[in-house]
Amino acid sequence: MSVMIGIEVHCQLNTASKLFCNSSSDHRGKMPNECTCPICLGFPGSKPVVNKRAIELGMMIALALKCKIAEKMFFSRKTYFYPDMSKNYQITQYEAPLAERGLFTLGENKIRIRRVHIEEDPARLIHVGGDITSAKYVLIDYNRSGIPLAEIVTEPDFTAPKEVRAFLEKMVNVLEHLGAYDSGKEATLRVDANISTDGGERVEVKNITGFENVEKALNYEIIRQSSMKRSGNVVVRETRHFDADTNTTKSLRKKEYEEDYGYIFDPDLPSVTISRAWLESVASSMPELPDQRIERFVRQYSIDEYTAMVIVYSDKRLADFFEECCARYNKPPTVSNWIVNYLLKSLNWRSERISQSKARPETFVELLQLIDEGKITDRFAKELIKEYVDTGISPRTLAQKEIVALSEKDLDEIIVKVLQANANAVEEYRNGKKESLQFLIGKVLSETRKQGNPKKIKDLIVKLMPR
Amino acid sequence: MVSLIQSLVKLHLERLAAEDVKLDDFAPRVMEKARAIQQKYSPFITLDENLGSTNRNAQKLPFSVKDNICTNGLRTTAGSRILENYIPPFDATCVRQVKSAGGFVIGKTAMDEFGFGTFSTNCAYGAPKNPIDIQRVCGGSSGGAACVTAAADFPHIAIAQSTGGSITAPAAFTGTVGLTPTYGRVSRWGLIDYANSMDKIGVIGRCTYDAAFGFSLIAGHDPLDATSLNAPKLDYTKVLEKDIRHLRIGVPSEYFNADGVDPQVKKLVWDKITSLERFGATYEEISLPSTKYATAAYYLIALSEASTNLAKFCGLRYGIQGETEGNYENYFSSIRERGFGEEAKRRIVLGTYARMSGYRDAYYIKALKVRAKIIGEFRKAFDRVGAIATPSMPIFAPRFDEVAGLTPVQQYAMDIMTTAPNLAGLPTVSVPAGESGGLPAGVQFIGDYENEGTLLQLAAACEV
Ligand SMILES: [Zn+2]
């Protein structure tokens, strides 16, 4: 079966204030409707004034996606009646968007970017006592109303849901490197996906949050559309809603065609001219992009390309973390090895991103220093990292506790006990089988929960071995 | 040019300077007179009855404000039932400027609902009556503003507003002076939008001095309005002192020869133009051939914009409230059905149609092209002339029963003199050109961008 998927990504831009007013666009810890003013509430008589920073972030995104940036762009009004819009029109871009015709490389594939434009986010609707179709009533939080969004529209160049997910992950990484998007700000990334199977009608699944959900929604649609065809039904052009509880999509309304929004140029906002000088100054202030960063990591830190890719692509903040560790502990390959093989595992176990984690570069490097100092074993460090990521307590403190607890006398007793319990191995070692000594060291370490210096343990075993 | 009309505002300002005005009872006495005017002509939707409780020493000069301009704490309905209980939490920039200069707002003046009318007869709260003859309309949509200006026997300036001629029409019908500034010269912050690309706040005064004084207070750049011009503040009463020698006036034949222009209006306006020769001005006939498309283009653009502006009045955040039944669409419809008047509904439907798929290119986009062409013609004309003179309105103020007999299209056609300059965003002034049978006719001068000064000089010359 052939599948064609195109997506629209709506990304909240990381600006201090909203797109057309001075209300804060960061509403962490704020009451609902606290970050509002007459403009983002659409009061009669209020007027929008565009936030230049939002346009600059949009320009950076367009440059990163290799788009052609307009010399002059306009804002338009998209009119439709919906309770999440205070004005019942959304200020967006239609005829003359910020940028068009770009390209994004995704492994072997090239995904064509149709356009990038800037628009305002509507308010957030909270469906109380049910979902969009069954809620008893709806609450509206205008804190979100007017936050700048960049809408990135692709051509229908994806052939499988997992490609879409890979694209989104890489795209977010780019956006975070640009500083255009901050996942730590509870900023959201919403996706509308258009999918058609075997050249059938295009179905739009709207407002999906989370990459995993995008993949699930698309997989569900493929199954739904193919089973409809198998049973002799026709897939109709429509808009559907993804229900994250059941992992299914539900029909919302028959597709409203774009043109029916009755777009007009927004007469409150003069056209924005993007001069060559402005574009050049934005281009020269562009932060490093992920691919450039990977190259630099290989060059500057002498780590292999694969490791650099894992660090940079998994999370911009993780790459920042790596660099901060290297600044404190000058063995980058060791740092990268511990991050990729052990830190990431602990984070994944907790389903955390580094930005949410209690791990800090200054404490993380203690773990590596303790190994170098011979105070803990590699193996013990691998145990310790879990507790460290769970609690955020510095490894030096954590190790101290364990080291003090295990006195010389305790260790002697453990070794004697192990030797008694494994008389066969002792016998074999005496008969010249060296591997048996390793076996005994392992047994001791498992008793000590992997603490104690292996060299010292080895010496003690030899010393305490019955003659 | 020294006007022969005595300005009550100027006299009052001189007395204020000489501390010859008893401020502690000035505002209450003005309000008493305003109530008497209201009894006779109904120019107000809301009178500010709380004035007495505020600081009277700051209440130096009375202003009225058109009801689509927000006044903090004072009901603002835009002439519509759907906003009958709307009390804005902020002042429009022009109101703030007036207040900080010692002005005080006596009340909010009647208008066609949202500015939708040429006669101030599409009024949710009653139509203002023309003080010259109460059987006749005041003109619209700033009818209440012109009415109170014409009737006031106290110093007063009206803050009015025009989208397609809403200052010129009532000024002409009531024998007052109406200044419509260049688009962007006065901040629109706080103006309840009709058609944002054409909406302009201006002034109506008893004479040119009053208009110039009021305009000087409210003109200037405002960071709250992205379309606000970055032009300096000026004292336009000083500009009035200059004469109009060597000023070349263009007289466009398309305006004088249009269908339905009353011959008596034409004569009065021509006489006024030729009378300016004694001050050294000259005139010449010019041609503005795209004028015939202006009214159609104006309505298409204005109504497209209006239909989006009015979308917010649906009973959710803004507009009257009602019982919720059915889904949100049913609810919004029931509120809009109840809250909007007939003309508002007509214009919403027309404007929505003009921007819908399949019609958008033929109507909305085409109208934008016509607008660009009209602007081009005016620009070329201003290479040759310093101002353009036309009748303000094609007719004298009609009686209410005459207006009631007009179809909507006939009503829209009355805007032929004003739609083109308003489409182009050019400043205009309407000043009395004389009367016939007791009814005034107005002459309209159209100026180049930001050239209100020349228009005010011409208006002052007409008062000599
Ligand atoms: Zn705001």
Stretch B16-39: mean pLDDT? 94
Evaluate whether residue B58 is within a structural domain.
yes
Query: Could you identify the residue written with the tokens 């007289």?
Result: B251
How many angstroms is it from B236 CA to the middle of ligand 1?
36
What per-residue confidence (pLDDT) applies to A412? 81
- Choose one of A240, A257, A282: the last residue of a domain: A282
Q: Which of A88, A90, A142, A261 to mutate to test the interface with B (most CBs of B within 10 A)?
A: A88
When pLDDT is cut at 50, 70 and 90, the band that residue A376 belongs to is confident
CB contact under 8 A, B307 and A43: no
What per-residue confidence (pLDDT) applies to A466? 72
Query: Worst-scoring range by mean pLDDT, B1-10, B105-114, B173-182?
Result: B1-10
Read off the pLDDT of residues B371-429 as tens digits, 9 standing for 90 and up.
999 999 999 999 999 999 999 999 999 999 999 999 998 899 899 999 999 999 999 99
Note whether A337 contacts B: Cβ–Cβ < 8 A.
Answer: no
Read off the pLDDT of residues B288-314 as tens digits, 9 standing for 90 and up.
999 999 999 999 999 999 999 999 999
Stretch A177-195: mean pLDDT? 84
Which residues does chain B have within 8 Å of residue A260's beta carbon, measured at their own beta carbons? 356-357
pLDDT more than 90, % of chain B: 91
- Number of Cβ within 10 Å of residue B305's Cβ equals 27
CB contact under 8 A, A45 and B190: yes
When pLDDT is cut at 50, 70 and 90, the band that residue B121 belongs to is very high
Read off the pLDDT of residues A258-306 as tens digits, 9 standing for 90 and up.
558 999 999 999 999 999 999 999 999 999 999 999 999 999 999 999 9
Q: What value of ipTM does the predicted structure carry?
A: 0.95
Stretch B170-198: mean pLDDT? 98
Tell me: do A87 and A108 sit in the same domain: yes
Query: Could you identify the residue written with the tokens 């003690």?
Result: A460
Which residues does chain B have within 8 Å of residue A48's beta carbon, measured at their own beta carbons? 226
Read off the tokens for B89.
């939490």
Read off the pLDDT of residues A167-176 as tens digits, 9 standing for 90 and up.
999 999 999 9
Beta strand pairing call for A189-197 and A3-12: antiparallel
Tell me: do A125 and A272 sit in the same domain: yes
Read off the pLDDT of residues A6-33 as tens digits, 9 standing for 90 and up.
999 999 999 999 999 999 999 888 999 9
pLDDT of residue A201 exceeding 60, the answer is yes
Tell me whether residue A128 is exposed, middle or buried, using C-beta atoms within 10 angstroms of its C-beta: 0 to 12, 13 to 18, 19 or more: exposed
Evaluate whether residue B71 is within a structural domain.
yes
Instruction: Please give the interface size between A and B, counted as residue pairs whose CB atoms are below 8 Å apart.
Output: 100
d(CA B328, CA B333): 8
Domain harbouring B169, CATH code = 3.90.1300.10
Q: What is the mean pLDDT of chain B?
A: 95
What per-residue confidence (pLDDT) applies to A397? 84
Which residues does chain B have within 8 Å of residue A265's beta carbon, measured at their own beta carbons? 368
Q: Which of B193, B318, B357 sits opposite A257 (nearest CB)?
A: B357
When pLDDT is cut at 50, 70 and 90, the band that residue B53 belongs to is low
Evaluate whether residue B464 is within a structural domain.
no
CB contact under 8 A, A45 and B88: yes
What per-residue confidence (pLDDT) applies to B180? 98
- Choose one of A282, A308, A326: the last residue of a domain: A282
Evaluate whether residue B287 is within a structural domain.
no
DSSP assignment letter at A399: H
Domain harbouring A456, CATH code = 1.10.10
pLDDT more than 70, % of chain A: 95
What per-residue confidence (pLDDT) applies to A255? 47
Residues with Cβ within 8 Å of A7's Cβ and at least 6 positions away in sequence, in order, are A153, A154, A158, A164, A167, A168, A191, A192, A193, A194, A214
Which residues does chain B have within 8 Å of residue A263's beta carbon, measured at their own beta carbons? 355, 360
- Choose one of A232, A248, A282: the last residue of a domain: A282
Which residues does chain A have within 8 Å of residue B163's beta carbon, measured at their own beta carbons? none
Read off the pLDDT of residues B271-287 as tens digits, 9 standing for 90 and up.
999 999 999 999 999 99
Mind telling me the catalytic residues of B? 66, 141, 166
B65-96 per-residue burial string, b: 16 or more CB within 10 A, e: under 16:
bbbbbbbbebbbbbbbbbbeebebebbbbbbb
What per-residue confidence (pLDDT) applies to B353? 95
Between A351 and A324, where is the model more confident? Answer: A324
Residues of B with CB under 8 A from a CB of A: 69-70, 76, 78, 83, 86, 88-90, 92, 188-193, 195-197, 223-227, 304-305, 307-308, 311-312, 314, 316-318, 328-329, 332, 352, 355-358, 360, 364, 368
Between A98 and A238, where is the model more confident? Answer: A98
The kind and range of the H/E element at A241 are strand A238-243
Between B269 and B6, where is the model more confident? Answer: B269
Note whether A38 contacts B: Cβ–Cβ < 8 A.
Answer: yes
CB contact under 8 A, A45 and B329: no
Tell me: do A359 and A422 sit in the same domain: no
Instruction: Find, in chain B, the residue whose alpha carbon is nearest to that of A80.
Output: B311
Q: Which of B163, B316, B317 to mutate to test the interface with A (most CBs of A within 10 A)?
A: B317
What per-residue confidence (pLDDT) applies to A463? 80
Note whether A133 contacts B: Cβ–Cβ < 8 A.
Answer: no
Between B251 and B233, where is the model more confident? Answer: B251
Distance from CA of A75 to the nearest CA of B (A): 12
Helices A361-372 and A316-328 sit at what angle, rounded to 10 degrees? Answer: 50
Beta strand pairing call for A238-243 and A203-209: parallel
Tell me: do A258 and A317 sit in the same domain: no
SS3 annotation, A54-105: HHHHHHHHHHHCCCEECCEECCEEEECCCCCCCCCEEEECCCCCCEEEEEEE
Tell me: do A249 and A355 sit in the same domain: no
pLDDT more than 70, % of chain B: 99
CB contact under 8 A, A262 and B355: yes
Evaluate whether residue B309 is within a structural domain.
no
Stretch B97-115: mean pLDDT? 96
Tell me: do A208 and A102 sit in the same domain: yes
CB contact under 8 A, B196 and A268: yes
Tell me: do A147 and A249 sit in the same domain: yes
Tell me: do A400 and A423 sit in the same domain: no
Tell me: do A151 and A78 sit in the same domain: yes
Distance from CA of B294 to the nearest CA of A (A): 19
Listing DSSP states for A12-42 in one string gives E---SB-SSSSSBS--TTPPTT-S--TTTTT
Distance from CA of B281 to the nearest CA of A (A): 37
Q: How many CA atoms lie within 13 A of B136 on its CB side?
A: 18
What per-residue confidence (pLDDT) applies to A377? 79
Distance from CA of A399 to the nearest CA of B (A): 60
Read off the pLDDT of residues A430-451 as tens digits, 9 standing for 90 and up.
888 888 888 888 888 887 766 6
What per-residue confidence (pLDDT) applies to A370? 85
Evaluate whether residue B235 is within a structural domain.
yes
Which residues does chain A have within 8 Å of residue B306's beta carbon, measured at their own beta carbons? none
Stretch B326-336: mean pLDDT? 91
Tell me: do A385 and A416 sit in the same domain: no
pLDDT of residue A257 exceeding 60, the answer is no
Residue B76, CA distances (Å) to B83, B107, B192, B324 in order: 7, 10, 9, 25
Where in the sequence is the domain holding A434, given as residue range(s)? 411-464
CB-based contact B111:B66 (threshold 8 Å): yes
How many angstroms is it from A42 CA to the middle of ligand 1?
9
Q: What is the mean pLDDT of chain A?
A: 89
What per-residue confidence (pLDDT) applies to A393? 86
Distance of CA A417 to the CA centre of its chain: 50
Stretch A80-90: mean pLDDT? 93
What per-residue confidence (pLDDT) applies to A403? 62
Between B195 and B1, where is the model more confident? Answer: B195
Tell me: do A183 and A310 sit in the same domain: no
Q: Which of A48, A86, A262 sits opposite B356 (nearest CB)?
A: A262
Evaluate whether residue B257 is within a structural domain.
no
CB contact under 8 A, B328 and A81: yes
When pLDDT is cut at 50, 70 and 90, the band that residue B324 belongs to is confident
CB contact under 8 A, B317 and A86: yes
d(CA B59, CA B31): 12
Tell me: do A88 and A220 sit in the same domain: yes
Evaluate whether residue B406 is within a structural domain.
no
When pLDDT is cut at 50, 70 and 90, the band that residue A187 belongs to is low
Distance from CA of A46 to the nearest CA of B (A): 6
Distance from CA of B387 to the nearest CA of A (A): 27
What per-residue confidence (pLDDT) applies to A253? 63
What per-residue confidence (pLDDT) applies to A207? 85
How many angstroms is it from A38 CA to the middle of ligand 1?
6
Look at chain A and report how many structural domains it folds into: 3
DSSP assignment letter at A179: T
Look at chain B and report how many structural domains it folds into: 1
What per-residue confidence (pLDDT) applies to A435? 84
Where in the sequence is the domain holding B122, given as residue range(s)? 2-240
Read off the pLDDT of residues A307-324 as tens digits, 9 standing for 90 and up.
999 999 988 999 999 999
The kind and range of the H/E element at A242 are strand A238-243
CB contact under 8 A, A44 and B364: no
